[in-house]
């Protein structure tokens, strides 16, 4: 707190204490009035009173505050378009901007009748500038551009005091080009300026305005003129003419005329032009029809012409009779250039020259070779004519006619081939065929009459048809023989299959095969056939695919000699030992023991006592069979006692007579059904010895049996002992 404030507070404190002090005594009222109060007498006169001054409110002593008259609103206290200004204890009014007080003093108190009036700013010239129009408003004004001017730098309307907007004259700029028109003149381009247009070249004015005006909106208005294109249309058509025209019918376009084919340009201009007034100029071309006149003659020809000589007309030339065209066209045509063209023929007299030579033929000819000349042909001796015609004429083509004449040799009677017959023949060809049983082999079957007059005979040979295997037979039960029915050097492969079977031995089966390759015509093949077997033999000629069969059977062989040793006995009941020999034919073998009473010179036929049956009578009364033994009942060996009185195989083994000498013969027999073969051996001599047995040297050398076999016979010689 500074010094002055401290002093004031001190003063205040003094005053308050002074007042308190006075109250207690006689109080001076006026001394206590507020600085802004006035001490007045009470209305009732009973003293003084402090009243706050005019414009203040309060108790008049301690508190007098300024009263704000403007608080209720300028409009109500000062009137319309005013501003209220409060002051200590009072107030005053002023007009709002744009208004002025009627008392013409700036500050006023309304109660003197003063009020605020609108100021007309537009009354002052040049407020908005010389391009704008002023408009007065209540309390203000605004500006807008005059016609022909446009606002710049701001919106319209504008206030020149508050914004920078200003008005500028309208400028439409250079007028735009207009279709079908041209700009003729333009002075200025600002508002109201006029541009003059005219119709473009090739166009004509029909209606409307040619001018264009720059409007207030900155745009050109117009022109409204209607310019129509000048067209000449289609060019005129003239007789016998064609046109060369690009289709344009604007002024200056041209069309060129030409004469159609068959006509030619005689005179006049052939060009027409489209003028500015829309018409084609008249072409004065003149086309005349072509005339070729009378055709030119061709030597040695006739002309066929209908007397028309316009373009395209034809004339035909023909060589006259006896002449022919040696080349070139024979038609002439009237051309566009007025000339006959095309015929290039030349007619020459026909000359056939020498007639054609024919082999083996004579010519009868008068030497001329003109059209119609004739030559005759005659075949020479030994030849005959083969042709429909024997003469030829000189033809229009300059050639002798082709008559196909041939002179062919006469070969005489048809040739004959061995074993063949003629199927068909004419004078130059014979067809042969082999007779039945023969077939053709290698070579043609056609004989041809040669040009020399001799038959060229067919190469064919007729060969007897024979099977590839024939004359098949078997020799010596062993060797096959056959003839090959094949050709020359051909090699044939033969497959021989043989199957053997035996009735008496069911299990037996002998199947074998063998091959033979040979070129021979006569063939022999020896097979290893087993005895007493039926064979079925199959021969196949492999390449020919032919098979022949034959059956053969091998004979029953004589059984092998039984294994015995010759013995001599002095007893009437000798026991003899027999060794069995192995024999393939066992099932059909048997042994027989013969007893021969000794009587001078004897001959024993091994096969003679054919009957093997016990009941059959012996041819000889002396010899007999004493036993018959089936070989199957013999083991490896057997002892047999002669005269033991037993029966063997149905034969009675009769006892031998004492004092008599006997020979015992053993016979081995192979037999099947009616077939039999036997082998005999002298087994023993029994009894008293009365004769000396002379043995052949061969037998004695072996020291075996004193007997000789001759074709199945046993001869025994006995000599008296010396």
Ligand X SMILES: *[C@@H]1O[C@H](CO)[C@@H](O)[C@H](O)[C@H]1NC(C)=O
Which residues here bind ligand X, judged by CB under 6 A? 34-36, 88-89, 198-199, 205, 209-210, 225, 386, 426-429, 502-503, 532-534, 551, 553, 555, 577, 637, 639
Of the pair 340, 383, the CB lying nearest ligand X is at: 383
Our CB check for ligand X shows the closer of 66 and 605 to be 66
Q: How far is the CB of 563 from ligand X (least distance, A)?
A: 14
Give residues with Cβ within 8 angstroms of 538, minimum separation 6: 496, 497, 498, 547, 548, 549
Q: Would you call 277 helix, strand, or coil by DSSP? A: coil
In this structure, what token pair is assigned to residue 85?
Answer: 């200004």
Shorter beta-carbon distance to ligand X: residue 145 or 449: 449
Rounded to a whole number of angstroms, the minimum distance from the CB of residue 503 to ligand X is 3
Q: How far is the CB of 647 from ligand X (least distance, A)?
A: 19
Query: Of the two residues 210 and 678, which places its CB atom closer to ligand X in the complex?
Result: 210
- H helices of 348-465, where? none
Residue closer to ligand X (CB basis): 534 or 611: 534
- Give the nearest distance from C-beta 445 to ligand X in angstroms: 13
In angstroms, what CA-CA distances link 653 with 3, 174, 626, 648? 213, 180, 5, 7
Q: 532 or 648: whose CB is closer to ligand X?
A: 532
Rounded-to-integer distance, Cα 221 and Cα 194, Å? 9
Task: Please identify, using beta-carbon distances, which residue of 60 and 235 lies nearer to ligand X.
Answer: 60
Q: Which two tokens stand for residue 546?
A: 């032919």
Q: What's the closest the beta carbon of residue 710 comes to ligand X, in angstroms?
A: 24
CB atoms under 10 Å from CB of 111, counted, come to 8
Residue placing its CB nearer to ligand X in the complex, 198 or 557: 198
Tokens of 529: 């056939």
Of 489, 492, 536, the C-alpha closest to 510 is 536
- Residue number, 128 or 527, with CB nearest to ligand X: 527
Smallest separation (angstroms) from ligand X to the CB of 360: 14
Of the candidates 458, 483, 501, the one whose C-alpha atom is nearest the C-alpha of residue 541 is 483
CB of 428 vs ligand X, minimal distance in Å: 4
Which distant-in-sequence residues (6+ apart) come within 8 Å of 616 by Cβ? none
Residue 386 or 511: the one with the smaller Cβ distance to ligand X is 386
Minimum distance of ligand X from residue 555's CB (angstroms): 5
Whose CA is closest to 177, among 150, 198, 208, 153? Answer: 198
d(C-alpha 510, C-alpha 706), whole Å: 40
Minimum CB–partner distance for residue 87 and ligand X (Å):
9
Q: How far is CA 276 from the centre of its chain?
A: 70
Element (H, E) at 21: helix 3-23
Give 505's contacts (C-beta < 8 A, 6+ positions apart).
Answer: 587
CB of 655 closer than 8 Å to CB of 684:
no
Residue 106's φ and ψ, nearest 5 degrees, are -65, -35
Alpha carbon distance 674, 696 (integer Å):
35
Q: Which of 668, 687, 686, 663 is nearest to 678 (CA)?
A: 668
In whole angstroms, how close is the CB of 203 to ligand X at the nearest point?
Answer: 8
Spatial separation of the C-alpha atoms in residues 128 and 136, rounded to whole Å: 11
Q: Which residues pair with 207 in a beta bridge?
A: 226
Using CA of residue 405, residue 409, residue 412, residue 413, what is the dihedral sign?
negative
Region label for 453, one of left (φ > 0), alpha (ψ between -120 and 50) or beta (otherwise): left
Displacement of CA 585 from its chain's centroid (Å): 81
| CB contact at 8 A, 139 and 125 | no
Nearest to 128 by CA among 111, 140, 110, 115: 140
CB of 53 to ligand X, least distance (A): 8
Identify which of residues 246 and 639 has a Cβ nearer to ligand X in the complex: 639
Q: Which is nearer to ligand X, 464 or 637 (CB)?
A: 637
Give min distance, CB of 200 to ligand X, in A.
Answer: 9
Question: Would you give the distance in Å from CA 247 to the centre of its chain?
Answer: 54
> From the CB of residue 722, how many other CB atoms can be counted at a distance below 10 Å?
4
Residue 67 C-beta: closest distance to ligand X, Å: 12
Of 294 and 530, which CB lies nearer to ligand X in the complex structure?
A: 530
- Cβ proximity to ligand X, 88 vs 487, nearer residue: 88
Q: Shortest Cβ distance from residue 43 to ligand X (Å)?
A: 24
Looking at residue 629, the DSSP 8-state letter turns out to be: E
- How far, in Å, CA of 485 to CA of 718, rounded? 63
Quote the least distance from Cβ 498 to ligand X, whole Å: 14
Smallest separation, CB 369 to ligand X (Å): 31
Nearer to ligand X, 424 or 715 (CB): 424
Give 94 or 553: the residue with its C-beta nearer to ligand X.
553
Cβ distance 653 to 644 under 8 Å? yes
CB of 237 to ligand X, least distance (A): 33
Query: Considering just the CA atoms, what is the radius of gyration of the chain in Å?
Result: 89
> For residues 229 and 252, is the Cβ–Cβ distance under 8 A?
no
With beta carbons less than 8 A apart as the criterion, state whether 69 and 77 touch. Answer: yes
With respect to ligand X, which residue has the nearer C-beta, 81 or 677? Answer: 677
Residue 19 CA to residue 26 CA, distance in Å, equals 10
């Amino acid at each position: 707190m500074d010094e002055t404030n401290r002093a004031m507070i001190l003063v205040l404190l003094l005053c308050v204490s002074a007042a308190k002090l006075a109250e207690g005594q006689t109080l001076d009222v006026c001394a206590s009035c507020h600085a802004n109060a006035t001490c007045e007498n009470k209305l009732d006169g009973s003293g003084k009173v402090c009243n706050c001054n005019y414009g203040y409110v309060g108790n008049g002593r301690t508190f007098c505050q300024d009263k704000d008259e403007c608080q209720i609103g300028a409009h109500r206290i000062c009137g319309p378009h005013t501003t209220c200004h409060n002051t200590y204890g009072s107030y005053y009014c002023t007009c709002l901007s744009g208004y002025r007080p009627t008392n013409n003093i700036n500050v006023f108190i309304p109660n003197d009748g003063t009020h605020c009036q609108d100021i007309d700013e537009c009354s002052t010239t040049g407020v908005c500038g010389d391009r704008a129009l002023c408009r007065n408003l209540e309390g203000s004004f605004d500006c807008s551009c005059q016609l022909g001017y446009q606002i710049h730098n701001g919106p319209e309307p504008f206030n020149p005091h508050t914004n920078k907007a200003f008005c500028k004259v309208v400028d439409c700029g250079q007028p735009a080009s207009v279709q079908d028109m041209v700009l003729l003149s333009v002075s200025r381009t600002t508002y109201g300026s006029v541009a003059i247009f005219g119709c473009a070249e090739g166009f004509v004015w029909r209606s409307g305005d040619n001018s264009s005006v720059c409007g207030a909106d900155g745009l050109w208005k117009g022109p409204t003129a209607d310019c129509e294109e000048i067209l000449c249309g289609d060019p005129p058509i003239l007789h016998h003419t064609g046109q060369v025209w690009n289709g344009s019918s604007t002024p200056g376009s041209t069309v060129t005329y030409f004469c159609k084919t068959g006509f030619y340009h005689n005179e006049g201009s052939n060009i027409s032009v489209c003028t500015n007034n829309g018409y084609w100029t008249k072409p004065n071309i003149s086309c005349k029809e072509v005339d070729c006149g009378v055709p030119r003659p061709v030597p040695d020809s006739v002309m066929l012409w209908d007397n028309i000589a316009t373009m395209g007309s034809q004339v035909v030339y023909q060589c006259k009779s006896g002449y022919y065209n040696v080349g070139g066209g024979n038609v002439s045509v009237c051309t566009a250039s007025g000339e006959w063209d095309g015929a290039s023929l030349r007619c020459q007299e026909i000359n056939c020259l020498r007639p054609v030579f024919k082999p083996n033929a004579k010519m009868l000819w008068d030497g001329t070779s003109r059209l119609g000349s004739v030559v005759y042909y005659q075949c020479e001796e030994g030849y005959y004519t083969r042709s429909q015609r024997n003469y030829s004429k000189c033809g229009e083509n300059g050639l002798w006619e082709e008559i196909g004449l041939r002179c062919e040799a006469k070969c005489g009677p048809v040739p004959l081939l061995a074993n063949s017959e003629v199927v068909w023949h004419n004078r130059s060809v014979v067809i042969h065929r082999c007779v039945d049983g023969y077939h053709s082999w290698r070579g043609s079957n056609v004989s041809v009459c040669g040009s020399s007059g001799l038959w060229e005979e067919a190469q064919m040979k007729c060969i007897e048809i024979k099977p590839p295997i024939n004359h098949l037979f078997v020799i010596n039960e062993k060797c096959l023989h056959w003839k090959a029915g094949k050709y020359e050097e051909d090699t044939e492969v033969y497959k021989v299959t043989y199957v053997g079977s035996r009735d008496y031995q069911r299990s037996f089966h002998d199947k074998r095969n063998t091959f033979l390759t040979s070129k021979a015509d006569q063939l022999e093949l020896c097979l290893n056939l087993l005895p007493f077997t039926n064979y079925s033999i199959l021969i196949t000629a492999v390449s020919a695919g032919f098979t022949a069969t034959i059956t053969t059977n091998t004979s029953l062989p004589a059984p092998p000699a039984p294994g015995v040793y010759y013995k001599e006995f002095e007893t009437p009941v000798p026991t003899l030992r027999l060794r069995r020999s192995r024999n393939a034919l066992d099932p059909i073998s048997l042994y027989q023991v013969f007893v021969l009473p000794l009587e001078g010179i004897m001959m024993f036929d091994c096969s003679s006592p054919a009957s093997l049956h016990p009941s059959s009578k012996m041819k000889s009364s002396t010899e007999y069979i004493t036993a018959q033994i089936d070989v199957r009942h013999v083991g490896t060996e057997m002892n047999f006692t002669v005269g033991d009185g037993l029966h063997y195989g149905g034969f009675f083994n009769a006892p031998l007579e004492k004092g008599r000498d006997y020979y015992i013969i053993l016979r081995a027999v192979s037999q099947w059904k009616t077939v039999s073969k036997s082998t005999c051996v002298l087994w023993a001599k029994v009894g008293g010895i009365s004769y000396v047995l002379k043995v052949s040297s061969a037998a004695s050398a072996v020291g075996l049996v004193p007997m000789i076999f001759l074709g199945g016979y046993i001869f025994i010689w006995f000599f008296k002992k010396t």
